[in-house]
Structure 1
Amino acid sequence: MIEYYARRATEYEKVYAKPERQADLQVLRDKCRSLFAGRDVLEISCGTAYWTECFVSTANSILATDINPETLDVARSKTLDAAKVEFATADSLALPDLRRDFDAGFAGFWWSHVPLEKLHAFLTGFHARLKPGALVAFIDNRFVEGSSTPVHRRDGAGNTYQIRRLADGSSHEVLKNFPTPEELRMTLDPFSGKLEITELEYFWMAVHQLG
């Protein structure tokens, strides 16, 4: 997974150019700008900072982390307000003590790459880096026949995988899960004081407040 996204860094954002997804993406961008207005945000697995760029205008501050130096190089090349945005290398499955007070957390298109057997531990670690009562948002894909890459296989734990091909001709097996609203609710309810799940045609968004 790490190698795949490192090699994909320069073509990372092409997926956001699919014409049929533009209306959904505009809804999500607007929601993020509204949700994070005036907040200090911890964004994990930020990739090339596509979503960072979407809500930097309204957020108070953003610490955006990723495990890949290659994607962070692309992120840092963008013209973002340096007084608001800081980038750092970090493993989203083992976040260090960041020694900052965050009243919001965000992960765009990361949930689907977390093995089901590690999901609870990931959420526990992520939420531990946020203040009590913080607002947390996750965005990810819904599986849509004809638009999504087909599922290649399912493992014994229930994780699903796709075969992804890059512009350099290489093929990669990538873990990609597609949770139902019921599965999202069951997973997040133990952490939430309030939970709202939005299903669009191509994406879902889960927003909750830490209990």
Structure 2
Amino acid sequence: MTDKIIQEQIDYYRARASEYDEWFYRIGRYDRGDEIKERWFNEVNVVKQALQQVGQVEEILELASGTGIWTQELLNIGKKITAIDASEEVIEINRSKLNSPNVEYRQIDLFTWEPDAEYDLVFFSFWLSHVPPELLDFFLTKLYKSVRVGGQVFIVDSRLEHTSTANNHILIDDGSIYKSRKLNDGREFQIVKIYYHPDKLQNKLTQVGFQANVKQTDNYFIYANGTKF
């Protein structure tokens, strides 16, 4: 079941590449009106400001780098970024959007990824929630190995909030980690989606070796900053 859902999840994000930005920028099916849009972007700015507090670093690894929404933020604090994603489609969008000589792209499935270097900062957004529970500890161990001593990890993910998804999609907190997602053309996929409580995420990061601080915005996001000592 795990292999099947992981492959379907990869297929979903490849197929969704051209419409992924609609979700983040609240366009089309994700536009729920000006008031909710303002609330969303205010909370995005809270997370962006927290990321800026990391300060200037030399080398950043971005996992599940997607279409470049956060890669462009990382360019403000890092001299060199290695951006990894399983989808060649989103990598091409990211590359064409940023057109930066300071970003190196690698197409790698993060479930088979093995760290081959250490970085000052490892960043990923809206990825941890897609890791099946039975693979979480293994992934976090690899994450820890990819951060150099004194380096940091920064994680952004989703809170369970019904206005964060498309207006023709209803979020149901039914206890299942398997969720259905639709594309604009109606195609439907099953993915893993886990909404973390701050205490659980902090415990997981602490167990693997990080000194971590986990926070939430009022409605939409959970974010964590951890240091490796």
Q: Is the TM-score greater than 0.5?
A: yes
Distance 1:150 1:34, change over 3 A: same
CA contact (8 A) 2:60 2:81 kept: yes
Match of 1:55 among 49, 61, 74: 74
- Residue aligning to 2:20: 12
Structure 1 residue 81, shift from structure 2 partner: 2.5
CA contact (8 A) 1:36 1:55 kept: no
Give the alignment of 1:15-34 within 5 angstroms. 15-18=23-26, 19=37, 20-34=39-53
The one-letter amino acid paired with 1:2 is I
Give the alignment of 1:16-165 within 5 angstroms. 16-18=24-26, 19=37, 20-82=39-101, 84-98=102-116, 100-148=117-165, 149-151=170-172, 154-155=175-176, 160-165=177-182
TM-score (norm 1): 0.89
Give the distance between the partners of 2:222 and 2:131, measured in 1 at CA.
Answer: 16
Distance 1:193 1:130, change over 3 A: closer
Structure 1 residue 152, shift from structure 2 partner: 7.3
Percent of paired sites with the same residue: 26
The one-letter amino acid paired with 1:175 is V
The one-letter amino acid paired with 2:110 is S
CA contact (8 A) 1:152 1:163 kept: no
Structure 1 residue 15, shift from structure 2 partner: 1.2
Distance 1:113 1:22, change over 3 A: same
The one-letter amino acid paired with 2:72 is E
Structure 2 residue matching 1:62: 3-state secondary structure: strand
The one-letter amino acid paired with 1:34 is Q
Count of residues paired in the alignment: 205
Q: Which runs of 5+ in 1 are unaligned?
A: none
CA contact (8 A) 2:67 2:90 kept: yes
The one-letter amino acid paired with 2:77 is T
- Residue aligning to 1:174: 191
Structure 2 residue matching 1:168: 3-state secondary structure: coil
- Residue aligning to 1:184: 201
Higher relative contact order (CA 8 A, sep 6+): 2
Match of 2:216 among 188, 191, 199: 199
Bigger shift: 88-97 or 168-177? 88-97
- Residue aligning to 2:11: 3
Give the distance between the partners of 1:79 and 1:119, measured in 2 at CA.
Answer: 31
Structure 1 residue 36, shift from structure 2 partner: 5.0
Structure 1 residue 39, shift from structure 2 partner: 3.3
Give the distance between the partners of 2:228 and 2:115, measured in 1 at CA.
Answer: 18
Structure 2 residue matching 1:151: 3-state secondary structure: coil
Give the distance between the partners of 1:63 and 1:32, measured in 2 at CA.
Answer: 17
The CA RMSD measured in Å over matched residues stands at 1.8
TM-score (norm 2): 0.83
CA contact (8 A) 1:192 1:208 kept: no
Bigger shift: 187-196 or 45-54? 187-196
Distance 1:36 1:163, change over 3 A: farther
